[in-house]
Structure formats: structure tokens, C-alpha cells
Chain A
């Protein structure tokens, strides 16, 4: 018995025993932080450079050529693809759609998430249930949950229209996905439905960091609920709101499947986003050059938001 106990104590230490001297010298450079640091990061660097950096460069290159799927000869055409896009009314519409979709959805998610967090923060019972219920849209793959929305948006079978009729808001059928204005509102609704819980949960965590004494002091001073929110809680939450909003901007800007599955960019291109138009042009239409040019249009906004995000996070870390 005793021997076994001793064995167990010695066991874990065995690997830490020094290695034979020869091997130790050959690998001793790995004991310095710099070589070891680079070595351990190397596989990731290969993945990032080869599978992200290289395609990123390819996008720019393709967008300056006339490359299409299946063609062997590729020639440099300068900015022709970009100039053609700027002349294209469908592309102009797509740019506006992307802006509208992103800004509206992100702002709605921010407001809804804030309300969600404030309400959830007051709830004592069933907290776990509510948290899980709110997070479900965020967790379920959106390509699958969007099917439920598609079913609810079917003009002739829509349960939403039915409910609206019961309440007396709606008369007749609503062309949810069949008419430009409705279709844009529909895809935005699904995006908001999926993304608001994310805001809610993050902001809820932020609320937990607001010092109780501050809020109580405001109560003693006679501040109303609105004043407490406006002058005590919101200023405290600002850094979190900024980070989560920027993160959501990136995500929403790159959104694809909600629009692709629900409307396919229609009716008459009225809901195309940069991502869906790029897919239609560059993959379905085999026009790699033009598709690359289209998708590259998200890059400036994306780079600006990521740079801002990094600045904010670095300032917070200090």
C-alpha cells in the first residue's frame, strides 16, 4: 500500500526530470522565449497567411482582371470592374441596402438588447430559463431557424398575417417577401431576432458591474428611474455598448444566409446585400472578377470598424 502511494506521488514529477545532456543542448535554444514563441505560433501563421492573407490578396488581384470561372487567359483590366459597378443601378441599390440593413438592424438590436438586459436584471425567479430562452435564436444555426421564418412569411400560409388579422391590424394578405419594403423589413426582423439576445446577454453582464452604491446614492438623492438610467447606468455601460455594437456591425455587414435563403436578393434585387450580390455574380454567374470587386466593397468599412474595435479594446485594457 505504502509503496503504491509513494509511486503516485513520484509519478507526475517524472516527466519534469531533466533530459539527457546531449538532447538538452541541441534543443536549448527552444528554452528562450523568442524562438519558442515563434515556433509555437508558426502553424497558425501558415494557416492565416495561406488561407486568409493569400485569398485577400487574390480578391484584390481578381478584381483588377477579367477572370472568370473556366477561362484560362486572364488579363489585367485596371479599375474597369469597379467603374462598371459604380455605373450599375443594381449595385447602387445593393450598397444602399447593405447600409440600411446593417445600420437599422444594429441599432434595433442595441435598443432591444438594452431593454432585454434591464428587464432581465430585475427578474429573480426563472432567470436561467429566460436566459436560455433568449439565447436560443443566437445558438441555433441561422440557416435552419430562418426556415421557420420563411414558413411564417409565406404569403398564403402566414401565421403572422393571421395573428395580425386577429388583432385587427391587418386586412387581407401581407406580401411579406413579395414586395420591396416588406421584404427588407422581413430580413431585418430575422437578423434582429437572431442578434438582439447577444446584445441582451452581454449588456446584462455589464449591468452586474455597475456599483450598487452609485445607484443607491442616486435613489437617495431622489433620482427617477429614467434619471438613474440616463446619468448613472448608461455612462457606466458605454464601453461595453461600444464593443458589442462594433462587433455586431462586423457580423451584420458580413451577413449572408438570411437574405440568400429568404429572398434570394429579390424581389427585383430590392434586398440584395453586398455578400449575396457577390455570390450571385462571382459563384453562380462565374464572373470571378466582378464578384471579387463587389465583395471587396465591404473591406473599407470592415477595416475601419476592426481598427476602431482594436483601439477601444486596447484603451480599455490600460
Chain B
């Protein structure tokens, strides 16, 4: 009896010795500290240039020249640089040029790219796989390889120094990009709906227009905005084809025009860079999740 009650009184499992617990907790603390420090360093690394940009654009002119000795002591904030940027430079013209080019090129690229994406994603025919490979390779070819002969082609078409040159040439990366992104979208759609429409007597083309296109519409809208950002970011073609400052997009105009001799108007330059980046940042803040899933789907799932 005594042995039984004694056994029952014993705790079922010995508690871990307190020393290990403290060690574990300390290890966990060290781990969390390491992660916090890493995240802080990365955040400073990625964001500091933007913070510095904003701070520079808001400082007074005289403050800017003392930046070497006391970079973080700000004697007063001013919107003077932004006022000068908008009234005394062609910043608004450059922005308008960027808008015209990005909107037209993206729209035209959609008209060409969406049918191609449907064809690649939905239809089986000889050579389809080869077309897919060519599209992907074309998308990867950098402007650095093609800008010199492209300049000759643009001049032959009498498009030198026009926005039309940019709209035309941007199709070379936009169309493959759209076809590539949307073909996997078309592939992921259920085929049953379109098949049902075809049994009802609709032609393949009609089934595409009426059934499949509305279903990929969210993808089309997102891809349009990504195409827009690609145009907005482009620099080399714009620098090559467009020489007069009136016709340059933001990315090129800002850099070229604000350098007077060897002196840069740093306040205006930083303000312009911030404003010029704003449209793309806004687009991404709305579409980040979609962008990431599209971006990673290709890499992760293959």
C-alpha cells in the first residue's frame, strides 16, 4: 500500500532542470536580438537614401552648403526647391511625356500581347513551345544589346527625337512581358466554361472574348500597371532616341537638365527624383501583393 501511494504521489515526469530553461531563454533572446539587429541594418540600408533625398529637398539653400560638417542639423524646412522645380524647370513637361509614353505603349502592348498570351496559354499547335521560348528570351534581352541598331531603325522610320520612337521601341520588352505573364494566367483558368460556350455553338474566338477575357481582366489590369512602371523606369532608350529636353521623359530630363556646368541644383534634383518616383511607388503600394505573387510564382513553382 505504502509503495503504491508513494508511487502515485511522485510527479509523472521530472521537470527540466531550471538551468537549461534559462539557457534556452537566453539563446532565444540572442536569436531575437540578432534578427532585430539584422532587420534594423537592412531597413537603414534600403531606406536611408530616400530619407536623405527627402531631407535634402526640404533644406534651405544655405543649409545645403553646410551639409558636410553638420548634415543632420537642419536650420529650417522649405518648399522652395519644389516651387522652383515646378515653375522654373520643365519638370511638368517631362512628367507629361512619361505619362504619354507609358500609357500609350502599355495600351498598345496589351492589344498585341493579350491575344498572344491566349494563344500561348490555351491553344496547342506546332511551334507553340518554340514561340514561348522566343518570347521569354526576348523579354530577357537587355536594351544595352540593341540600342545602337535600334537608333538606326528609329532614324530610318523618321521617328528620331520623338515620343513615338519610345512608344514603338518599348513594345519590344512590353509585349513579351505581357504575353509571358498572362499566358500562365490563361493556363490557370478552368477550361470548362469556355468549353460549355463552345457546345452552345460559340466559336473559339467568341468563347475567348466572352468567357475567358472577362475572367483574366484582373490580371490584364495589373499587367497594364506593371507595363506602365517598366516604361516609367526605362532610361537607356530614352536617352538614346530623345535629344531635346522638351520631349524627354522624367527619368532622362531630370538628370540632364538640372546640371548647370559642374554645379548641380541638389535640392531640386532630390525633390524631382522623389516626385518622379511617386507614380510608380503608388502603383506598387496598391499592387504589391499581386506583384509579389506574380513574381514569385514564376520562380518558385516554375
User: CB within 8 Å of B: which residues of A?
Assistant: 12-13, 15-19, 24, 27, 30-31, 33-34, 36-41, 43-45, 47-48, 51-52, 54-56, 58-59, 62, 115-116, 119-120, 122-123, 130-137, 139-145, 147-152, 156-159, 161-162, 193, 197, 201-202, 205-206, 209, 225, 239-240, 243-244, 247, 250-251, 253-257, 260-261, 274-275, 278-279, 282-283, 288, 291-292, 295-296, 298-299, 302, 306, 309-310, 313, 316-317
- Give bound CA distance, A283 to B241, whole Å: 10
B227 lies within 8 A of chain A by Cβ: no
Closest residue to B129 on the A side, CB-wise? A314
Q: Across the interface, do B115 and A40 meet the contact criterion of CB distance under 8 Å?
A: yes
Q: Taking CB as reference atom, which chain B residue is nearest A310?
A: B133
| Bound-complex Cα distance A51 to B50 (A) | 36
Which residues of chain A are near B152, meaning CB under 8 Å? 58, 62, 288
Question: A52 contacts B141, CB within 8 Å?
Answer: yes
Residues of B within 8 A of A261 (CB): 255
Tell me, rounded to whole Å, the shortest Cβ–Cβ distance linking B38 to chain A: 4
Contact partners of B31 in chain A: CB under 8 A: 122, 225
A151 to B269, CA, bound (A): 9
Among the stretches B11-19, B75-83, B203-211, the one at the interface with A is: B203-211
Asked whether B251 lies within 8 Å of A144 as measured between CB atoms, the reply is yes
Alpha-carbon gap, A149 to B270, bound state (A): 10
CB pairs A–B below 8 angstroms (5 shown): A16-B197, A130-B43, A202-B300, A239-B302, A283-B147
B223 within 8 A of A: no
Q: Is the interface of B mostly helix, strand, loop or mixed?
A: helix
Contact between B46 and A151 (Cβ–Cβ < 8 Å)?
Answer: no
Residues of A within 8 A of B206 (CB): 15-16, 19
Please encode chain B, from 31 to 58, with 1 for each CB lying within 8 Å of some chain A CB and 0 for all others: 1000100110011011101101100100
Residues of A within 8 A of B235 (CB): 141-143, 256-257
Contacts of B236 in A (CB 8 A): 256-257, 275, 279
Instruction: Give the residues in chain A near B101, CB-CB below 8 Å.
Output: none
Nearest-CB residue, chain B, relative to A278: B148
A16 / chain B contacts, CB cutoff of 8 Å: 197, 200-202, 206-207, 210-211
Give A201 to B284 CA distance when docked, in angstroms. 14
The answer to whether A133 and B144 touch across the interface, beta carbons within 8 angstroms, is no
Residue of B nearest to A144 (CB): B273
A36 touches B171 (CB 8 A): no
Q: Report if A43-B281 is in contact (Cβ < 8 Å); known contacts: A62-B149, A251-B142, A278-B148.
A: no
A56–B264 alpha-carbon span in the complex (Å): 38
Chain A proximity of B276: nearest CB distance (Å) = 5
Closest chain-B Cβ to A299's Cβ sits at a distance in Å of 6
Give the distance in Å from the alpha carbon of A244 to the alpha carbon of B295 in the complex: 11
CB distance from B113 to the nearest CB of A (A): 7
Query: Is B92 in contact with chain A by the CB < 8 A criterion?
Result: no
| Pairs of residues from A and B, 4 with the lowest C-beta to C-beta distance, nearest first | A254-B142, A316-B302, A58-B149, A205-B296
CB atoms of A43 and B116 under 8 A apart: yes
B277 touches A140 (CB 8 A): yes
Q: Which residue of A lies closest to B281 (CB)?
A: A139
**Taking the complex as formed, is B242 at the interface, i.e. its CB lies under 8 A from any CB of chain A?**
no
- Are the C-beta atoms of A205 and B299 separated by less than 8 Å? yes
User: Are A295 and B145 interface neighbours, CB within 8 A?
Assistant: yes
Report the Cα distance A33→B211, complex, angstroms: 17
CB <8 Å contact, A38 and B125: yes
In the complex, which residues of chain A have a beta carbon less than 8 angstroms from the beta carbon of B53?
145, 147-148, 151
Please state if A145 and B49 are interface contacts (CB–CB under 8 Å). Answer: yes
Contacting A120 at CB < 8 Å: which of B39, B135, B264?
B39
Is A31's CB under 8 angstroms from B204's CB? Answer: yes
Among B144, B151, B168, residue most surrounded by chain A Cβ atoms (within 10 Å)? B144
B119 at the interface (CB under 8 A from A): yes
Contact of A36 among B46, B119, B179, B232 (CB under 8 A): B119
CB of A100, distance to nearest CB on chain B (Å): 17
Which B-chain residue is minimally distant from A54 (CB atoms)? B153
Known: A54-B153, A145-B49, A205-B299. A295 touches B148 (CB 8 A): yes
Chain A nearest CB, measured from B212 CB (Å): 12
State the Cβ distance, B299 to closest chain A Cβ, in Å: 5
Task: Say yes or no for B138: interface residue by CB 8 A criterion.
Answer: yes
CA distance A244 to B299 in the complex (A): 7
Contact A283 B288 (CB under 8 A): no
A132 contacts which chain B residues (CB < 8 A)?
285, 288
Partner of B205, one of A30, A52, A122, A201: A30
Contacting pair A148 B276 (CB below 8 A): no
Q: Kindly report which residue of chain A lies nearest to residue B123, judged by CB atoms.
A: A37
Chain A CB within 8 A of B62 CB: no
Partner of B172, one of A51, A58, A141: A51
By the criterion CB–CB under 8 Å, are B119 and A274 in contact?
A: no
Contact partners of A296 in chain B: CB under 8 A: 145
Residues of chain A within 8 A (CB-CB) of B128 are 37
Bound-state CA distance A193–B46 (Å) is: 7
B113, A44: Cβ atoms closer than 8 Å: yes
Check B149 against A33 for contact (C-beta < 8 Å).
no
Q: Does B140 contact A (CB under 8 A)?
A: yes
Given A141-B233, A145-B277, A48 contacting B204 (CB threshold 8 A)? no
Query: For B176, what are the chain A residues with a Cβ–Cβ distance below 8 Å?
Result: 44, 48
Partner of B71 from A58, A162, A193 at Cβ < 8 Å: A162
Is there contact, CB below 8 Å, between B277 and A253?
Answer: no
For residue A295, give the distance in angstroms from its CB to the closest CB of chain B.
6
**Further 7 A-B residue pairs, CB within 8 A, beyond A30-B204, A141-B276:** A36-B205, A122-B35, A140-B280, A151-B269, A279-B147, A279-B239, A306-B140
Contact present for A156 and B68 (CB under 8 Å): yes
